Amino acid sequence: MPDLSCARGSDCVSVDSIGISPCPGERRDAFVTGLGCFRRLPDLDTWISRFQRMASGAVLRADQLIMDVAAGARILTAEELHEVLEHVARAGFDANARERARGELAGLVWQDQVLRGSTLLPPAERHYVKHVLLRREWPAGTSLEDYLESARQTILNSGSSVFLSAYRGQWQLAVIGESGNWRGPHGNEFIVVEYRVETGHWTTVFQPRDMYTDFIRTAGRERVRWLRRRI
Amino acid sequence: MATTQDLIDFELDILNRALDGVLDLAEAGDEEPDTVRYHEMLVWNSDMSRLKLDLDPAYRRGQMTLEQQERYRVLLARLKDALPLIERLGFAKPQVSLEP
């Protein structure tokens, strides 16, 4: 059983193989386990899923490589970068999470139901409805699986750019690739995919209007470290 | 092929929906996970770029129909009213004059 004592609001620490270090992020929501430091996740299923995945050596290694780069401890070899990107490509959106459609998607029809602001959707579906069906950033006729596959292809394309950054203490890995044939009538030049280490899933897949201003230089993004730069 | 007016109609619809979403998010407060707020912040950045690079120039250059001009003025007024909430969220402020 994980030690949840620091979930009661005291300072939290993580114990790892090299000693003791503070938890990143909001400490009130952090707790420690033998595998590292975690924020308290919004629901138990998500926490269990994350714990199970972290118990898998392959998943832990890819995220550890990312955190090593974040700490400035190493530079990845080409093989290690490929390993990290394969992991990120497989991660996808969190299938156990649910997001509200909110006002922006209210009134749209998805899977034979008219969405309300309170309708709960898996993140993959919410992002698809928003960016493909509503905003037409992807070509007409793009299916949910096509949208997800375009993200995977962007991540795995050796012509894509990759960087690490921290946003409010959360380390994230971003991949930027040319949209090419995935550019819809209201799409833009690049597809961006971002993965958050803490959650082990994608946080976003979309085509920003101005990639530099809207994405790379967004307020709050810090400590940008390019792992591969093609732009 | 979409006309300029079709494109403007689309952008007006998207920006208004985006503002609905931001207002909804502001009302939700801490109920929404940080990952959701982060994504919405990025997309809002993009929407503000669309406003600055596409929609506002179309308005200033007289490329909108009269009906679209009125819709755009209403959008600017909504954005002006929403500024306190946008600032509270820490989202990007419009980079165009909110005075029509």
pLDDT at B3: 81
Torsion of CA A124, A125, A127, A132, to 10 degrees: 120
**Could you tell me if the ipTM is greater than 0.90?**
yes
**Among A103-107, A181-185, A203-207, which is the least confidently predicted range?**
A103-107
Q: Where are the domains of chain B?
A: 4-89
The structure tokens listed for A55 are 């118990």
Chain B CB contacts of A213 below 8 Å: 45, 49
Average pLDDT over residues A171-187: 98
Kindly provide the b/e burial profile for residues A72-84, where b requires at least 16 CB atoms within 10 angstroms of the residue's own CB: eeeebeeebbebb
Taking only the tens place, the pLDDT of each residue in B49-95 is 999 999 999 999 999 999 999 999 999 999 999 999 999 999 999 99
Question: Can you tell me the distance from the alpha carbon of B59 to that of B54, in angstroms, rounded to the nearest whole number?
Answer: 9
3-state secondary structure of A112: coil
Going by C-alpha positions, the residue among B87, B97, B36, B71 that lies closest to residue A104 is B36
Q: Among residues A56, A29, A26, A24, which one has the least CA distance to residue A41?
A: A29
Q: Which of A28, A14, A36 is nearest to A197 (CA)?
A: A36
* Mean pLDDT confidence for B32-48: 96
Residues 6 or more apart whose CB falls under 8 angstroms from that of A208 comprise: A188, A190, A192, A214, A215, B42, B43, B45, B46, B49
Of B18, B25, B53, Cβ closest to residue A210: B53
Nearest to A178 by CA among A193, A197, A168, A194: A193
* Nearest by CB: B21 against A103, A168, A199: A103
How far away is chain A from the Cα of B99, in angstroms, using its nearest Cα? 24
Instruction: Tell me how far apart the alpha carbons of residues A170 and A210 are, in angstroms, rounded to a whole number.
Output: 23
Return d(Cα A100, Cα A114) in angstroms, integer.
13
> Using the beta-carbon criterion (under 8 Å), do B47 and A209 form an inter-chain contact?
yes
CA distance to partner chain A, nearest, from residue B97 (Å) = 19
Main-chain dihedrals φ then ψ at residue A131, nearest 5 degrees: -90, -25
- The model carries a pTM of 0.83
B39 touches chain A (CB under 8 A): yes
pLDDT in tens, A134-148: 999 999 999 999 999
- Tell me which of A29, A39, A102 to substitute to probe the interface with B (most B C-beta atoms closer than 10 Å): A102
Helix (H) or strand (E) holding B35: helix B34-50
Question: Model confidence at B28, in pLDDT bands (50, 70, 90)?
Answer: confident
B21 touches A at CB < 8 Å: yes
Predicted confidence (pLDDT) at residue A12 exceeds the cutoff of 70: no
Tens digit of each residue's pLDDT (9 = 90 or more) over A34-76: 444 444 444 444 455 555 655 566 568 999 999 999 999 889 9
Q: Which of B32, B38, B49 sits opposite A209 (nearest CB)?
A: B49
* Cβ–Cβ below 8 Å for A218 and B42: yes
Q: B48: which chain A residues are within 8 Å (Cβ-Cβ)?
A: 214
Measured CA angle at A172 (ends A139, A104), to 5 deg: 45
C-beta of residue A210 within 8 angstroms of C-beta of residue A201: no
- A203 and B53 in contact by Cβ < 8 A? no
Quote the CA–CA distance of A190 and A130 in Å, as a whole number.
Answer: 17
